[in-house]
Amino acid sequence: MVPCLDRPTAADADLAQPPPPPSSGRLEKANSKTWLPASTRARRRTLSSETDEHFALTVEHVAIFLVGDHTLITVKPSSEDDASIWQAVHRRLASTYSKVRHNDANFLLYSVLDVIVDQMTGVMDDVRSYLMHLEQQLDTLLHRFDIETLRDVHSELGQLPRVIKPTRDVLKSLLASRDLPDTTKAYLRDVHDHLNHILDEIEWQFQMCKSMTEEYRDAKATQTNYVVYVLTIVTTVFLPAQFLTGVYGMNF
């Protein structure tokens, strides 16, 4: 599983669908065909401070088949955002002095994974900026802050590690495989490190969501306590008058 988060382009994206069961992370071979378990690509809604759209991440799957040293096959459902990944790969192939053009399919496998992880990094940077915007809103609006938006982000971030961690296992298997040359493994190790950094970033953002949620709850609790305090004072002030009115208003 290689989750790839594309930059925001789809305004009509739905909530993320549950990913398929995580793969074992093994690199398997059958009839000299090495295949990588289905990778995942996700796109999200535009993260704009001026929109009230529902925050969501969607997951798409990319199957990658490495056939020997000269053929790499990628399979993925068609969507409007396909171009972003493949254009990045094509740009590398179009360069005259590109390493992709002067290496075998193993290096092309690295290039595809690298593009996916790079786009994932870009999306996580956008999510971080969006959380910063929500934090400013929380400080400004406080009691009028839309907590549901924060809950949406928190929920989506909570699903990402379950999708990304199997990808890290696949990369570990690739690094341990004897079928790949050491030169390609050196580049794959860099992708593996980037993936670890992304997981750390997701954890940081997840904790930030929890912290903001607690801050909102504390603010609401403080507001509730203040209302109770005011009502108690009002009751204390008017209670003697009510008592006297009740006493002298009785018929003896």
For residues 94-111, give the mean pLDDT.
84
pLDDT in tens, 18-63: 334 344 443 443 333 444 444 444 444 445 444 445 677 777 777 8
Give the pLDDT score at 202. 94
92-121 in b/e form (b: 16+ CB < 10 A) is beeeeeeebeebbbbbbbbbbbbbbbebbb
pLDDT class of 97 with cuts at 50, 70, 90: confident
Residue 95 has pLDDT above 70, yes or no: yes
180-212 in b/e form (b: 16+ CB < 10 A) is beeebbebbeebbebbeebbebbeebbebbeeb
- Which of helix, strand or coil describes residue 39? strand
- Residue 167 lies inside a defined structural domain of this protein: yes
The number of folded domains in the chain is: 1
Q: Of 107-111, 176-180, 189-193, give the range with the top mean pLDDT.
A: 189-193
Residue 133 has pLDDT above 70, yes or no: yes
- Residue 239 lies inside a defined structural domain of this protein: no
Give the pLDDT score at 224. 85
pLDDT class of 98 with cuts at 50, 70, 90: confident
- Residue 173 lies inside a defined structural domain of this protein: yes
- Residue 122 lies inside a defined structural domain of this protein: yes
Q: What are 145's two structure tokens? A: 């802050």
- Residue 200 lies inside a defined structural domain of this protein: yes
Give the pLDDT score at 194. 93
pLDDT class of 17 with cuts at 50, 70, 90: very low
- Residue 147 lies inside a defined structural domain of this protein: yes
Amino acid at 93: L
Give the pLDDT score at 9. 43
Spatial separation of the C-alpha atoms in residues 128 and 168, rounded to whole Å: 22
Nearest to 205 by CA among 142, 138, 158: 158
Q: What are 71's two structure tokens? A: 């053929």
- Residue 115 lies inside a defined structural domain of this protein: yes
> What is the CATH number for 89?
1.20.58.340
State the number of CA atoms in the 13 A half-sphere of 168 facing the CB: 15
- Residue 141 lies inside a defined structural domain of this protein: yes
Residue 238 has pLDDT above 60, yes or no: yes
Structural domain range at position 174: 4-220
Give the pLDDT score at 101. 82
